Structures are given as C-alpha cells and as structure tokens.
Amino acid sequence: MNLIILHKEDATGDNTYSITDHRAEHIRTVIKSIPGDTLNVGLLNGPTGTAVIESIEDDRVTLTCTWLPLLQSLPTIDLICALPRPQTLKKVLASAAAMGIRRIHLVNAERVKQRYFKSSLLHYEKYKRFLLEGLSQGKRTNMPEIKIYKDFDKFFNETLPELEDQEQKPAIRLLPDPETDTFINSIKLTRDDRILLAIGPEGGWIPPELNLIANLGFHKFSLGRWILRVENAVVAALSQIELMTETAADRPPQ
C-alpha cells in the first residue's frame, strides 16, 4: 500500500481514525510500523495527508491525521471499455483507479461474451476492493464511478450524448486503433482538457462498431505496433495521455 485509504466511518474524533481490517494488518505485519511512525494516508473522495500512529493493538491501529489542501486532478478522463472477462476487469478497475479515471462506462459489443454481464463482480460490494487497491497503489483518493450498459447502440447514440450534454465543456474523444498510422502526438492535448477514451474488447471492435464510434468524433491513434490485451491497452493509452498532457504543460505559451 503506497497510501492507506481511510473512510469516514473510520473516524473516532477530530482527525483521529481507528482501523481494524486488512489495512491494520498491513501496517502491523507488512510495513511493521510502531507507535510514533508516520504513514501516507488519504480520505476516500477527500484529501491526502500524513498520519501518526498513536497506538497499535492486536487488531486495531489508531491514527492522528494531518490533511493537505485538496488539489484538483487534471486532466479529467472518462473511460469507455467493452466489458472484459472478470479476471481482466479486476486489472482494468485497479489500473484505472490508480491512474486517475473519473468514470468508467462498461459497455456491450459484438465480441463481448454475454455471460460477463452475469458476473457477481459487477456488484459494487465485489468490485470496490479492486478500485480501492488501485487508489492505494496510485496514491489517489477519488473513487471512479462505474456504469454498466448492455445495449451498444443505445449507449453511443443516446446515453453518451445525454451524458456529454451535462458536462461544462466538450471532451476530446480518443480511440486506440491498431490499424491506424496516426499517433497521439498529432492530437493537441492539454492538462485542462476533458478526455473520453474508448477501449475495445479482446479481438477489437468489429468494423461497424469502429465506424460508429469514429463518426461520433473519436480520434483514432496507435498504441504502437503491438496487439495488446485490454488491461494493457488501458494502461498504455492512459500513459500516452499523461505524457502528452504533462509535456504540453511544460511548453512555453504560443
């Protein structure tokens, strides 16, 4: 754990928190901390900061926290991902949370096996564990929102436009495609941009799906000459976006 994620329910007083689950065990047996040590902590959907260990008992760790001012995470990225098999989804959720995704839309596609929609992993109490693991790994606190859509056409033709109408500014829409020769450096990105990233299923979007998405203003770009698994494509795409937005932030004004 790079960041101990605390919950409001853990609070026992002003900036004092008590934990008794796997987080306490991690502090005791993995980090092997002692009273007086300082840890990096974050409040779920809140600030990050540091915590001093006040006491360690058999099953309980008590912390006193000092919070840092909230900083806005830029850019804002929403992920559209064709629903993968459960084991892959666990990796996608953890990586997306670690890399700062705001919202994840899990959608249907021709190459999505329909039994995936019956997986128990799609229940919040099952998938939140992997989001929390990602937040802890990436030192982030904002829990991504998960939405599930079984109708491909309805999502892209009706739901997505409705969601976009509620946003304060339009998104730059990105579509990784192994068949294109265009690279992300041809797309102007800044840290202030809102980004919508669409990742296809194993085997890719079929041509009609790809054409529909592209016709909605998604810019195709290549992740390289490799054919990647879904979880690797998510990380590769987000890494390229991070590189381009941070590079843009370092450029002098035109």
Domains in the chain: boundaries: 4-67, 76-250
Determine the Cα–Cα distance for residues 68 and 71; give it in Å rounded to an integer. Answer: 9
pLDDT score of 254 more than 60: no
Give me the mean pLDDT over the 205-225 stretch: 97
pLDDT more than 70, % of the chain = 96
Give me the mean pLDDT over the 77-98 stretch: 98
Residue that is written with structure tokens 């490799």 in the block: 226
Q: How far is CA 27 from CA 67, 70, 130, 172, in A?
A: 19, 25, 19, 41
Which residue in 132, 127, 125 sits closest to 5, CA to CA?
132
Its pTM stands at: 0.92
Q: In the CATH scheme, what architecture does the domain 4-67 have?
A: Beta Barrel (2.40)
CATH fold match for the domains 4-67 and 76-250: no
Q: What's the half-sphere exposure (Cβ side, CA atoms, 13 Å) at 22?
A: 6
pLDDT for residue 246: 81
Q: Which fold has domain 76-250?
A: Alpha/beta knot (3.40.1280)
pLDDT score of 109 more than 50: yes
Cβ pair 47, 64 in contact under 8 A: no
